[in-house]
Structures are given as C-alpha cells and as structure tokens.
Structure 1
Amino acid sequence: MEPEKILNISVDCVVFGYDINTKSLNVLLIKRFLEREEEVLVNDYVLTGYHVYQKETLDETATRVLKELTGLTDQYKKQFKAFGNPDRLTNEKDLIWIRNEGFNSRTITIAYYFLLKTDDVDLKNNKYQAKWFPVNDLPELGFDHEKIILEAYEDLKTKCLSEPIIFKLLPDKFTINEVQDLYQSILGIEIDNRNFRRKLIKKKYIIALDEKQVGVSKRPAQLYMFSLDLYEKMFKKNYLINI
C-alpha cells in the first residue's frame, strides 16, 4: 500500500549535471505526454517531483524522488525556495494533466536542486523518458518549471562562488582546465586562464597528483583532486563577531 500523500504539497527537483566532454551544464527533465482518442493533449517536459508523504520530511521526499529518477542517493542537494503562486498550475494543458492525474490544482511545491555528473545517470532504460538538456537551451516546459529551473540556476551561480560545490559536478580527478571550463559554463563568462590557474593551484585543498591524463591526443595535463577534509579544516565556521 502506498503511503498517504499530502495532496497539496509536493517537492520538485532540479537535477543539474555537467557533461565534461561538451562542457555543458545540463538539466535532467522527464517527458510529459497525454493522448486521448488519438489526439495529443499534452506533449512537453517537466521536472521530476512528487507529493510529500505524511510521515516523511521534505528532504526525504527529495531524496526519494531523485532515487526513483536516477537510482542515485547521497548527492549534493539544496532546498532553495517554495513556489506557491495561486496561478502556477492554471495553464490549459496543465489543468488537463492535473484532471487526468487527480492532482490538486492549488499545490505548493518545495524546490530543491541536485548536483551530479551526467555520466552517473543511465538513461537507456529510464521509465520516465528522462533526457538531459542544456540549461540555456530548454525545451517547452509544463507548469512553472522554467521559472523554477532559472531560479535554481541563479542560486547555483551565487553558491558556486562561495563554496566548493562545483567539485560535485567533476570527476574525482580533474585538470585545472576542466575546473575553469565548468566555472565558465555555470557563470557564462570567460575567465583569464593564467590568472585562474595561478590562484587555483595555490589552494591547499586542491591537491596535485602524481598522475596525468590518459587517452588524449594532445599533451597530457596534470591531474588534481579536491580534499573536502582540508577545506573543512581551513574554513571552520566562526560564530564570534569580528570587530
């Protein structure tokens, strides 16, 4: 028996993934399709999400939704905003979908975003017809999900400048150029290569490895890793007021 749902509270998950080959920051979306008597009523994409169960926390709902979509758990996640505009689900095709699914048209959703590597998700047999889309080239979206994605993206831009969350999007071993490419992809700007490299390799939590790239046609680059332990030791929270 399925747990009891809270019918007007849901969680929606913006799943960001970085493709290191195309240097693209992507969003994982699922197909929304409804056909009746050979007439297509709804055909677009949406974020993955679901109702909150009575006996679970919001974080537990978000983790459950991500696992059902990707099979992954223990990924970086952040709850960033609640969306409760009375008109958020009143588009004609959204109302058709809501009536078909028996959803509450006055649903408040709590939005999270997750960070992961695109290669970690196997989409071949995904029952939701999930697909990666570049964050700057989104398809037609249902509900208010474009707004949710764009607000998540803005939050990610701010967050990545103050915390080392971008390493959640990179392989465990990476080059300096790959870090720079990721920052440029997220922020949408060009970064001076020499200045960026000099600053990054001075960080004690960026550890140079005795390894270089393999399987590349050009000159193999030095590999590095991020040490969360060193980072946390260096940036202990200080609750004293500095005057």
Structure 2
Amino acid sequence: MNLNKILNLSVDCVVFGYDTNTKSLNVLLIKRYLESEKGSKILVDDYVLTGYHVYENETLDESASRVLKELTGLSNLYKKQFKAFGDPDRLKHEKDLIWVEHEKFNLRTITVAYYFLLKTEEVDLKSNKNEAKWFPIGDLPDLGFDHEQIILEAYEDLKIKCLSEPVIFELLPDKFTINEVQDLYQSILQIEIDNRNFRRKLINKKYIIPLDEKQIGVSKKPAQLYMFSKDIYDKMFQKNYLINI
C-alpha cells in the first residue's frame, strides 16, 4: 500500500459528542506534549484536534475517516467537510513552531476540516493511546495551532445543520425521551425552548416513533421512550426546518 504523505495537505477532525448526564455538547481532543531533549523543560503542553497528512492514494473523505478510526476505533459515522484552513501563519505561533520543527511539518500546510457526530459513550477513553479527552464546547482548554478557530466554526455550522436536518439524533442514544431531545437542542443552540410547544411539535413528526417502553433506573417518574426512523424521514424529506423553534 502506498503511504506517501502529501506534506502540505492535512485533514483535521472536530469530533462532537453529547453527554446526556451533564447536558453538554463536547469536543474530543488529544494531548500535545513535548519536553526538551534532557527532559528538564516542558516545551509544549496543550490539546489539539486529531488530524494527519493526506496520503497520495486517498480522497479527503478517506483520510478523515482513517484519522477518526485511529482515534476512536469507529467508522461509518456522520461526517461533514465544512471548510479549508490555509492562513500562511496558522502554524507559526511560538509553541507551534517548536512542534513543527520536532515533527518535521511543512510550515505552509493547508488543512481540510471535518466534523463528526457520535455518542460519547461509544468512545473508550481508558485505553486511548492519544490521551484523548472530552471537553465542553463552552470550556475548551489551551489549544494548539488554529484549532480553536476550527472548532468554533464547526460549531457554528452544526447549529445551522441541526435546524435543517435531523443530525442531532446521531448524538443521542437509540432510545430517547422528548426531554433529552429538547436538552440537546438547547445545548447546541444556547437558547431556552418552550417545553409544551416543543413536545407537541416533536411527537407529531412521523419519523419520531413512540416505543412501548419507559426509562429505567431513574429516581423520578419514568418518561416515555422514542426512536428516530431514518427510513421514514428519508421518504418524506423536504428542504424545510426539522423543528420551528
């Protein structure tokens, strides 16, 4: 297999996951750490998105899927290519220059950014070799390169996307309550939604299927569970808002 890298072209992956317990939209980041040769000084200590060079025999989509699988072990997830980042100075902050020299990166690397949607519980962080960690979108750590900009632009794109397509169901368990859907919309859009209005609109959607099941293991009154039917949605899909909030 030809694994020759295109030295000035990479992909970066913004991995979004939603935690139904904390009701927070999170981003999966990996540790970037470098000490001096004698180990007496920490040169770089922050977090970055997962990403890598594109191989000569790959499409951009194939590169992004490969990088995502290497990080999470997962494939066939929702992904969207949303922008290319090519500012001449995007790798030239002081700590980034140290990292670039150590890793022999091309200073004029252009990256094509994707975002992925998955369920946080699907990722095994305990055995992750990259020291991956979830961070709330509103509480990001110190980031390398231009990755804060990439994350925030991915987030803005996701806000728009979740109003026109049912992508939020990629972030929820297969069986969910109406309140969990509402909490997720509120977390992404950073707005308050009228509960009664939202519930009425959602349960009237033919692709939201009520199940003969209720929550288990909750201290309060268990709520009705529902599931999303992609088959029904695809059959009736029209280019309009999923839910008018």
Q: Under a length normalisation based on structure 2, what TM-score does the superposition of the two structures give?
A: 0.95
Distance in structure 2 (CA, Å) of the matches to 1:176 and 1:147? 33
One-letter identity of the residue aligned with 1:3:
L
Residue pairs, 1:77-226, within 5 angstroms: 77-226=79-228
Distance in structure 1 (CA, Å) of the matches to 2:136 and 2:2? 35
Provide the residue aligned with 2:26 in structure 1: 26
Distance in structure 1 (CA, Å) of the matches to 2:238 and 2:17? 28
Does the residue aligned with 2:51 lie in a helix, a strand or coil?
Answer: strand
Does the residue aligned with 1:161 lie in a helix, a strand or coil?
Answer: helix
Provide the residue aligned with 2:53 in structure 1: 51
Q: Deviations over 1:201-234 (max 9, x none)?
A: 0000001011111111110000000000100110
Distance in structure 2 (CA, Å) of the matches to 1:220 and 1:41? 51
Gaps of 5+ in 1: 238-243
Does the residue aligned with 1:204 lie in a helix, a strand or coil?
Answer: coil
Q: Deviations over 1:154-201 (max 9, x none)?
A: 000000000000000000000000000000000011101000001000
Distance in structure 2 (CA, Å) of the matches to 1:5 and 1:236? 41
Deviation at 1:2, TM superposition (A): 6.8
Q: Deviations over 1:66-125 (max 9, x none)?
A: 000000000000000000000111101101000000110100000000000110000001
Provide the residue aligned with 1:13 in structure 2: 13
Q: Is the 8 A contact 2:68 2:75 kept in 1?
A: yes
Q: Is the 8 A contact 2:85 2:112 kept in 1?
A: yes
Q: Deviations over 1:122-172 (max 9, x none)?
A: 000110000000001000000000000000000000000000000000000
Deviation at 1:39, TM superposition (A): 0.5
Distance in structure 1 (CA, Å) of the matches to 2:163 and 2:57? 36
Q: Under a length normalisation based on structure 1, what TM-score does the superposition of the two structures give?
A: 0.96
Provide the residue aligned with 2:243 in structure 1: none
Q: Which of the residues 219, 227, 237 maps onto 2:229?
A: 227
One-letter identity of the residue aligned with 1:65:
V
Give the length in aligned residue pairs.
237
Gaps of 5+ in 2: 240-245
Q: Which of the residues 71, 74, 77 maps onto 1:72?
A: 74
**Structure 1 ranges of 4+ moved more than 2 A:** none
Does the residue aligned with 1:181 lie in a helix, a strand or coil?
Answer: helix
Does the residue aligned with 1:211 lie in a helix, a strand or coil?
Answer: strand
One-letter identity of the residue aligned with 1:6:
I
Q: Is the 8 A contact 2:162 2:168 kept in 1?
A: yes
Distance in structure 1 (CA, Å) of the matches to 2:65 and 2:217? 36
